[in-house]
Amino acid sequence: MPQPGNAAQRVTKGDGEPGSLPASRTDRSISTGSVGPMCGIVGYVGPQDALAVVLEGLRRLEYRGYDSAGVAVRVADAADGALIWAKKAGKLANLEKVLAEQPLPAATLGLGHTRWATHGAPTDRNAHPHLSADGRVAVVHNGIIENFAALRAECEAAGVEFASETDTEVVAHLLAATYEQTPRREGRLAEAMRAVSRRLEGAFTLVATHAAEPDTLVGSRRNSPLVVGVGEGEYFLGSDVSAFIAHTRNALELGQDQVVELDRTRGVTVTDFVGTVVQPKAYTVDWDAAAAEKGGYDWFMLKEIAEQPRAVADTLLGRLGPRGELVLDEVRLSDQELRDVDKIFVVACGTAYNAGLIAKYAIEHWTRIPVEVELASEFRYRDPVLDRSTLVVVISQSGETMDTLMALRHAKDQKARVLAICNANGSTIPRESDAVLYTHAGPEVAVASTKGFLTQLVACYLVGLFLAQVRGVTFEDEVYAVVADLRRLPDAVAAVLERMDPVRELARSLAGEDKMLFLGRHVGYPVALEGALKLKELAYIHAEGFAAGELKHGPIAVIDHGTPVVVIVPSPRTRGSVHGKVVSNIQEVRARGARTIVIAEEGDDDVLPYADDLIRVPRTPTLLAPVVTTVPLQVLACEIAATRGLDVDQPRNLAKSVTVE
């Protein structure tokens, strides 16, 4: 059986008796804990080399977690129905090395997993797939099975010895036993999967195979993502479509509490957990396969930064209807419901939350509706006041962030209307929302969000303008004027990107720092927060963003000789004297020894005497300025991290999609 350091193993038919749980194996220590809650899953059945397809899919999904990786394949012509697997702690490259040394035989069915661990060490033996004691069932899992302890006790009482510390393994044993108890007929494995799924509590995506079913792969999902790819005589499963876009663009959405059977003869069958057949929603993936590759850049993040002019333009494309109205992708809200909105909450996490903070300035300004911005992880626990006339805007690049999903569900329970701004088509958050506006950023692979953020800002602006228009507080020509400004943004972002060489040079001079501050005011304040977040997550430098006016209330004490302070300066055309106040703030920090790094628009010469380093950005209307001022901060963080020799795309301790609370 799989052991640490013994990666590639052959498993043959075991001694499990029909109708019983499999017989016991050798003693192993047992500890509680569950694993794999935000992992990447791939499944394939078809004529191609299954291992190659699965590994390629895992490569694209590795952003979801990189604590360990594993594969299992069903050997094509093995009379005894052998499953063979390999798994290894660490990045996918470790597993690939093992497979290069010990190649697996040809197979036409396979599944794979890349793991992000929460509890339980990221070891070989905790890596997925997990196998039943008789080696006839292999399972990969994303999520947490909350009642696994009771199920494990039940298996152990029946004599099963567990080989890992995971919650997942219990599914392998239950599925093997349930399969034996299921009558021999078409769809037997799916039937067993339904029976097992009904017993599970928590969040799970499961993909499984049984040695006796060489052409059948089954999947199951609850509160965790899984999409189906349909090719010519071949079928795919993936945590998201990037797992299979190199092979097919035809995808099927799986709903909540559904089981899918992929069979080379019978095709795709989707049912609920009881067995009622349901018609899955088909859609075409419009992401380019090449978009998921690095395209010649050293890092996905660099490529994604460079893609921002296109991503912003795509997010604007086709959004205005013939009457000047905003075209939402899916609206299950009437104009009257939107007119009735008397309060808006914007709810999100991390970078998406920072986008929400900027949205507040724009939406309140254009609609005069009060907007509150909330961290999704705090929202439902503080019992917010919501009712039918509350609009909750949830923002999520991945559409799978568990904190945001739970906030969304809480909002719906309170009868509020929910509008999602999301990048991943078919993901859970837009599916459960009343209306959806997709950002057309394309796949964002780097853990640090860049084009996701800029397109979220554009989507927020569009939502604000749409609401203003529906409620009649803005004339159509006013909306058009802002939309015309929005249309100039791709060129403005491109212009910023063309001047990034001095920023890269600046970054190299900052690589040895251990703290940095970011200051901004008005919409520049959330930009400061975003700049600090990027630097923390990528370069592991302690960084804080502050509202510049707050400086004198405490933070200024941390400024020391040489402390780098990045200041996002608002346009001199900003209402009131905000610009002048920020210029004063630069002087204050400089007087205390700070090294001032100033981001200011072209023509703003007031900053010249106080800027040790000056980064120019094109003149942009005040509310839209974050779309350009954020870009140098992304480049700065990326380049500092690269200079420090860090993994820019996969920073330590992080994962792209945080599907646990």
Binding site for ligand AGP (CB under 6 A): 349-352, 396-398, 401, 404, 447-449, 537, 657-658
Residues in the chain: 661
Per-residue DSSP letters for 186-211? TTHHHHHHHHHHHH--EEEEEEEEET
Helix/strand/coil (H/E/C) assignment for every residue in 14-44:
CCCCCCCCCCCCCCCCCCCCCCCCCCEEEEE
The closest alpha carbon to 90, from 121, 118, 129, 136, belongs to 121
In three state form, how does the secondary structure of 86-111 look?
EEEECCHHHHHHHHHHCCCCCEEEEE
> Could you write out the DSSP letters of every residue in 324-384?
S-B--SEE-S-HHHHHT--EEEEEE-HHHHHHHHHHHHHHHHHH---EEEEEHHHHGGG--
Q: How far is the CB of 121 from ligand AGP (least distance, A)?
A: 24
Q: How far is the CB of 302 from ligand AGP (least distance, A)?
A: 14
Rounded to whole angstroms, the Cα distance separating 562 from 592 reads 9
The single residue of 39, 422, 460, 638 carrying the catalytic annotation is 39
CB of 319 to ligand AGP, least distance (A): 20
Tell me if residue 257 falls in helix, strand or coil: coil
Per DSSP, the chain holds a count of helices (H) and strands (E) of: 18, 26
Question: Which lies closer to ligand AGP via its Cβ, residue 449 or residue 474?
Answer: 449
Asked if 125 contacts 107 with a C-beta cutoff of 8 angstroms, the reply is: no
Q: Which of 219, 199, 435, 452 lies closest to 329, judged by CA?
A: 435
Q: Which two tokens stand for residue 240?
A: 């998201």
Report the C-alpha gap between 635 and 645 in whole angstroms.
Answer: 15
Catalytic residue among 87, 303, 451, 656: 656
For residue 283, list its beta bridge partners.
251
Would you call 87 a catalytic residue per the annotation?
no
CB of 453 to ligand AGP, least distance (A): 7
Query: Please, what is the minimum distance in Å from the beta carbon of residue 211 to ligand AGP?
Result: 37
C-beta of 347: minimal distance to ligand AGP in Å? 10
* Whole-angstrom distance, CA of residue 648 vs CA of residue 574: 35
Minimum CB distance to ligand AGP, residue 572 (Å): 31
* Nearest CB to ligand AGP, comparing residues 497 and 529: 529
Q: How far is the CB of 644 from ligand AGP (least distance, A)?
A: 17
Nearer to ligand AGP, 177 or 355 (CB): 355
Query: By C-beta, is 228 or 448 nearer to ligand AGP?
Result: 448
CA nearest neighbour of 490 among 306, 350, 227: 306
Identity of the residue numbered 24: S
The residue (of 195 and 458) whose beta carbon lies closer to ligand AGP is: 458
Whether 656 is a known active-site residue: answer: yes
CB atoms within 10 A of CB 331: 17
CB within 8 Å of 408: residues ≥ 6 apart: 347, 392, 394, 418, 420, 429, 432, 433
Q: Which residues contact 481 (CB under 8 A, 6 or more apart)?
A: none
Of the two residues 72 and 291, which places its CB atom closer to ligand AGP in the complex? 291
Residue 259 near residue 193 (C-beta atoms within 8 A) = yes
Task: Kindly tell me which of 132 and 404 has the beta carbon lying closer to ligand AGP.
Answer: 404
Least Å distance between CB 657 and ligand AGP? Answer: 6
What span, in angstroms and rounded, lies between the C-alpha atoms of 426 and 229? 12
Report the distance separating Cα 236 and Cα 246, nearest Å: 11
Phi and psi based region of residue 68 (left: phi greater than 0; alpha: psi -120 to 50; beta: remaining): beta
- What are the C-alpha distances in Å from 592 to residues 563, 598, 615? 9, 16, 22
Nearest to 329 by CA among 438, 455, 439, 452: 438
User: Residues 6 or more apart from 407 whose CB is under 8 A from it?
Assistant: 347, 374, 376, 377, 379, 380, 392, 394
Give the residue nearest to ligand AGP (CB): 350
| Cβ atoms within 10 Å, residue 386 | 21
Residues forming the active site: 39, 656
